[in-house]
Amino acid sequence: MKILITLPALLLSAVHLFGETYYYAFGQKVILKPLPQTRSAADQNIRYFQTETGTKLGVKNEIIIGCKDMEQCKPVLENYPIASVEKLSDTLYLLTLKKGSDPFTVANSLYHEEPIFLSHPNFIKKRIAR
């Protein structure tokens, strides 16, 4: 009996540990591959990934969400590890997560919550001179 109870717990743990890292863009799942991390002081809080198309992205502990009415979104956000909320525009907000939170997991969960219409990590892209 203990084996039957323990097996689902182990399988769920394995899925969490070895699951894909992804985010949603325009309703499509974008798979990311982790890149080697740098150790410079400026980059210590940034994790780097590469998309299947080769685009390199950096991710900090921040998420951008879209919400038409923040009063309706506040009850939803209370269920997540959010340290602060900064208004970027009438409908866009920058969420800083509590230390140790995974921005992909939180962003993907928020993506499926009503009334939030947009949710993805706040990506850092390399600047290109024009």
> What pLDDT sits at residue 16?
43
- Which of 16-25, 66-75, 120-129 is predicted most confidently? 66-75
Q: Can you tell me whether residue 82 is helix, strand or coil?
A: strand
Share of the chain above pLDDT 90, in %: 68
**Mean pLDDT score of the chain, rounded to an integer?**
84
pLDDT at 1 over 60: no
Domain membership flag for residue 14: no
Range of the domain at 100: 20-124
> What pLDDT sits at residue 19?
74
Domain membership flag for residue 1: no
Domain membership flag for residue 106: yes
Domain membership flag for residue 13: no
> What pLDDT sits at residue 13?
37
Please state the domain count of the chain.
1
> What pLDDT sits at residue 44?
74
Task: Compute the distance between CA of residue 83 and CA of residue 97 in angstroms, rounded to an integer.
Answer: 5
E strand spans, the chain? 21-25, 28-34, 47-51, 56-67, 82-87, 92-97, 116-124
Tell me the per-residue pLDDT of 54-95, one tens digit each, with 9 for 90 and over. 999 999 999 999 999 999 999 999 999 999 999 999 999 999
pTM over cut 0.95: no
Domain membership flag for residue 80: yes
> What pLDDT sits at residue 121?
96
Tell me the per-residue pLDDT of 40-53, one tens digit each, with 9 for 90 and over. 656 678 899 999 99
Using CB atoms within 10 A of its CB, is residue 64 exposed (0-12), middle (13-18) or buried (19+)?
Answer: middle
Cα torsion 40, 41, 44, 46: sign: negative
Domain membership flag for residue 61: yes
Domain membership flag for residue 55: yes
C-beta of residue 49 within 8 angstroms of C-beta of residue 33: yes
> What pLDDT sits at residue 129?
67
